[in-house]
Structure 1
Amino acid sequence: MVTGTGLVERAGGLREVARRRAADAEERRRLTPDVVAGVLESGFARHFVPVGFGGAGGTFREFADAVAVVAEGCAAAAWCASVASSLARVAAFLPAQGQAEVWAEGADAFVVGSLSPAGKAAAAPGGWRVSGSWACVSGVDFSDWVVVCAVLPGQAGARLFALPRGAYAVKDTWSASGMRGTGSNTVVVDDVFVPESRSVDRQRLFDGPAVPIQAVNGLSCAPAALGAARGALRLWTGDTARRLARGAGKAGGPGPSLGTYEAALARGSGEIDAAALLLERAADVADRGARITEAEIARNVRDYALSTELLVTAVNRMFATAGTSGQSLESPLQRAWRDVNSIATHIALTFDPAAVLFAARPFALEAAA
C-alpha cells in the first residue's frame, strides 16, 4: 500500500540503484547521473515545493523515512536527496515571483545551496549584487539553482539569494574521507546581479509562518546516518554469521568470543532502533508546523544530536569486531563506517550546543524559583 505521496516506496527502488553505484560515486567524488536522475524521479526535489508550483505537499515524517531508506544503499545518494528536498523548502521562502522563476520548468528543479553567510551583497537598483565563495555544497555539479547566504556590509543580519545555473561557477574542492560521493564542491559567485524577487531575509527561516528551521535542520542530516547504520547492521550481521559458521567466536580461540558478537548485535540494533524512534518523534513534531513550542524545538535539536551519537556508537562497535575483512576497500561496511562518522561532524548534529539550548529554559526556571 502506497502511503502519503509514495516517496518512501519509490525510495526503495532508488536505494537499489544507489547501492549498485556507490563505489562509482566514491571514485568519482560525486553521484553518477543515473542516481541523480533517480533522486529527481523519486520525487525528492518536489516533496516540499508549494503545491501551487507542482509540489507534492509532503510531510517531514515521509521525507525522513525516505532519506533513511535510500541511505541503506548509499549514504551519499541519500544526502543529496535530502539536499534536493531541504533546499527546495528554503527556496519556498522566496517571494512568489522568485518561486515562479525557480520552478518555471517544473517542480523537479534540483536546488542546492549553503545557509552560511560566506558572501557579501550590496544593494543595486531592483535588487542586489552578490559575490562570495561557499564550500561544501552537496550535489552542486548537477544543480539547476543554488541558494546562497550573504551579509550586507554595515548592516546586521544576512539575506538569501537564489541564482540559476550559469550565474555561478563550481570549483572542485571535495576530497573528504567520508561521504565522498556527495560531490560537495565550492560555489563561486562573482559580482552577479540578483533581483529582489529572488532574495529573502534569512531570519524568515527562523520565525516565518512555517516551522522554524531550528526544529528541522538536523532532520536534513540525521536520517542519512540512520539509514547508513541500518545498512551497516545488515552487512555486519551477514558477515559475522558467515565467520561464526567458519569457527570464529569459539571459546579459547583467537579473536572475539561469541558473547562479544552477540552483545554487539543486541546493543547495536537497540541503539539504531532508539535513534529511529527519536527521529520519528522529531519529524512528527515538525509536521505540526508553526504550532511547535520553544521547548519542542529544543528537544528536537537535542534528539538529532543524541540519535546521531547512538548511531555512531553502534556502527563503531560493529566495525571494531568486523576483522580485517571489514576494513577492505571492497567492503561496503567500511564505507558506511566512514559515512556515519562523517555525518556526525555536521554542525546541526553537534551535541554540546544542543545541550545548551535544551537546558536553558529549565535551568532558568529553576534559578528564578
Structure 2
Amino acid sequence: MLHAPQSPLLPAARAMAPLAAEHSAAAEERRRLHPAVAEALIAAGFPRHFAPDLPDRSPGTFTGLVEAVAALGEGCASAAWVASVTASAGRLTAHLPEQGRAAVWEKGEGTVVAAGLMPSGTARRVPGGWRVRGEWAYISGVDFAGWTLLAARTEEAGRPNVRVFAVPRADHTVVDAWFVIGMRGTGSHTVVLDEDVVVPDERSVPLAAILRGRPAAADAPCHRMPLKAGNGLTLTAPLLGAARGALGRWRELTGAKLAAPGGAISDGPGPVPYEQAFSRAEGELDAVELLLGRAAGVVDRGGVTSVETARNARDCALAAERLATVVDGLLRTAGTRAQSEAEALQRHWRDVNCGAGHSGLQWAPAASTYARLAGAVGR
C-alpha cells in the first residue's frame, strides 16, 4: 500500500472496481468506457482530483491518485487509465490564465478534461487569440470530456513555439480511430479542429510553462512540479492495477493444476513449483509499488529537483518493463485456457503490454537522461 488514507479516491475506486470489471468486455467491444463506468469515474472524483480553484476543496496528491488508480485497474485497466489521465489533464489547467481556468471549470466538479500534448496541430495569431487547426491522435477519454487541451505549433516574435489550447467539446470533432490490441476501452480516439476554431488568449499557455511546472497562481505541490516528474506515475499506476488483477486471476486458473501430483506448473524447460512462481510475481509487484510510492512522495513533498525528475521518469519506465515481464510469465504458465478471448488474464496481459509501450514509459531515453543528470556519464 502507498498509505494515503486521507484520500477519498481509494474507497471510491474500490467500490467502482467491480462495476468496471463487469463492463470491461463491453468497453473492449465498444472501444470506449460504458456510460455507467464513466459516470462512476466522475462521481468518484478522478477528473477533479488535481483541479485548481474549486470551492471548498484542495488539490489532491499523487500518492492518493496512484493508489486509487491501481485499485481500479485490478478490475479494468481501461477505466483506470482514463481515470488517471483525466486527473492529469485536469492538473494541467492550473497553468492557464485565471479567466481560462474559470471557463474550463465553470460547471464545477463534474468537469472532465482530456489532453493531447503532442504538437500535432498549428495555430496562427488573430485578434484576441489563435486560430487553431489539426488532428490529434490517442486522446483517451475524449468521448465524455467537456474540454480538451491540445498542443499546436506557433510562431511568436519570429521564432517557432508550441502552445497548449483549451478547447470545448462543441468546437472539435471526434473521429473513431482507436483500433489497438490492448487498452481498447480507453476510447483514445482522434480529435480534429478545422480553421474556423479561434481560441482566445486566456485559454492558451506555452507548452514550456507546463513542462517547467511553475504556474503563477497555484501553490499546491501537484501543480508546481515539472511535467516529467509525475507524468510517468499517471501512466504506470493503471498497469500496476492490471498486473495485480492478472496475478489474482492466475491464482484462480492454476488452482486446478495444484491438485495434480507434485503441485507444479510448467514454465520453460522444466517444472517450477507454484510457490516460486507466485512469490516471484508478487514480489515484483511489491517492488514496483515501492518505486511508484517513492516517486509519488517526491512530487507530493514539493521542490522537485531536475535529478529527482529524471529519476522518477527512470523508475516509472523501469516499473513498466517489470510489469510487462510479470504478466508475460503469468500468461505463459496459466495454460491454454488463459488465452481464451473471453479470459480476463489475457485481457490484463494485453492491457499491460499496450500501456507499457507508451512513449512516456520508454526505458532508453529515461535511463540516458537520468545517467547524464546524475553525473554517471560524460556530457
Work out whether the TM-score is over 0.5.
yes
Q: Which amino acid aligns with 2:331?
A: F
Counterpart of 1:14 (choices 13, 16, 41) is: 16
Alignment of 1:111-260 (within 5 A): 111-153=113-155, 155-191=159-195, 192-209=197-214, 210-245=224-259, 247=260, 259-260=272-273
Q: Which amino acid aligns with 1:23?
A: A
From the superposition, tell whether residues 110 and 4 of structure 1 become closer, same or farther in structure 2 (CA, over 3 Å). same
- With the length of structure 1 as denominator, give the TM-score of the two structures: 0.94
Cα distance between partner residues in 2 of 1:261 and 1:177: 29
Instruction: State the 1:225 CA deviation.
Output: 0.5
Counterpart of 1:287 (choices 300, 311, 328) is: 300
Partner of 1:355: 367
Contact 1:137–1:185 (Cα < 8 Å) also in 2: yes
From the superposition, tell whether residues 220 and 255 of structure 1 become closer, same or farther in structure 2 (CA, over 3 Å). closer
Instruction: State the 1:92 CA deviation.
Output: 1.8
Contact 1:115–1:160 (Cα < 8 Å) also in 2: yes
Cα distance between partner residues in 1 of 2:378 and 2:82: 44
Q: Secondary structure at the match of 1:92?
A: helix
Contact 2:266–2:333 (Cα < 8 Å) also in 1: no
From the superposition, tell whether residues 255 and 197 of structure 1 become closer, same or farther in structure 2 (CA, over 3 Å). closer
Number of corresponding residues: 365
Unmatched segments (≥5 aa) in structure 1 = none
Q: Secondary structure at the match of 1:217?
A: helix
Instruction: State the 1:310 CA deviation.
Output: 1.0
From the superposition, tell whether residues 243 and 99 of structure 1 become closer, same or farther in structure 2 (CA, over 3 Å). same
Q: Secondary structure at the match of 1:156?
A: strand
Alignment of 1:21-60 (within 5 A): 21-53=23-55, 56-60=58-62
Cα distance between partner residues in 1 of 2:21 and 2:266: 35
- With the length of structure 2 as denominator, give the TM-score of the two structures: 0.92
Alignment of 1:71-150 (within 5 A): 71-150=73-152
Contact 2:47–2:87 (Cα < 8 Å) also in 1: yes
Instruction: State the 1:207 CA deviation.
Output: 1.7
Cα root mean square deviation, aligned:
2.1
Percent of counterpart pairs with the same letter? 46
Cα distance between partner residues in 2 of 1:84 and 1:214: 16
From the superposition, tell whether residues 196 and 259 of structure 1 become closer, same or farther in structure 2 (CA, over 3 Å). same
Instruction: State the 1:122 CA deviation.
Output: 0.4
Q: Which amino acid aligns with 2:27?
A: A
My pick for the range that moved more, 48-57 or 129-138, is 48-57
Q: Which amino acid aligns with 1:224?
A: P
Please state if 1:341 is matched with 2:353.
yes
Q: Which runs of 4+ in 1 moved over 6 A?
A: 251-257
Instruction: State the 1:83 CA deviation.
Output: 1.7
Cα distance between partner residues in 2 of 1:361 and 1:2: 30
Cα distance between partner residues in 2 of 1:92 and 1:250: 55
Q: Which amino acid aligns with 2:82?
A: C
